[in-house]
Amino acid sequence: MHMVNQSRWKRNGYSVPAPQSVKLEVLKRHGNTLGTWVETGTYLGDTTKVLGASAKRVISIEPSKDLVIRARKRFQGKANIEIVEGLSEEVFEKVLSGISGSVCFWLDGHASGGLTHRGPVVTPIRYELLAIGKLKNQFDSMVVFIDDFRGFGFKADQDADYPSRSYLVNWADSLELSWTVEHDIFVAWN
């Protein structure tokens, strides 16, 4: 399946979005397996599974009760994977308050149709970034991955919950983080 997606991606001139396998390579290349991963938007748990195969600990936040049940069943017996039920804008900061050391964030919790949950905001990214900024001093190191960079900054055709691209850049700069964009993923790190 991934080869077909990569072939189609290549034929389309490597346009965004990149196939999931390419995005996972970005996470592996820039991420840290020695610490904790915090993921927003568990969905079917495919990224959670990949992260959990090598990470010390994975905490995945999912607001859909049905998807939480599926994920908990899928990862039953995996001691390093925890599925937290709730809206990210309500539980994210509480989850972070119990974490220290090296942390990687995969921020992909947004409504995108289908089985994905649509809460009071299309994307909780502003809440998540504020919480990370507030608690950043408790982390020895961190890498923040924000998926779907193409969706930021186009308010004419997107919900106003998506901030501008400069919002992400200014946030990273305010925390003195280095940053780049790779395959439609905004990556910031210290």
Residue 141, beta-bridge partner list: 102
Q: What's the whole-model pTM score?
A: 0.88
Q: What is the pLDDT of residues 163-183, one digit of tens each?
A: 889 999 999 999 999 999 999
Please count the residues of the chain: 190
Please give the single-letter amino acid code of residue 139: F
Q: What is the pLDDT of residues 75-101, one digit of tens each?
A: 999 999 999 999 999 999 999 999 999
- Estimate the crossing angle of helix 165-174 against helix 125-135, to 10 degrees: 10
Give the separation between CA 5 and CA 153, rounded to whole angstroms.
27
Please give the single-letter amino acid code of residue 104: C
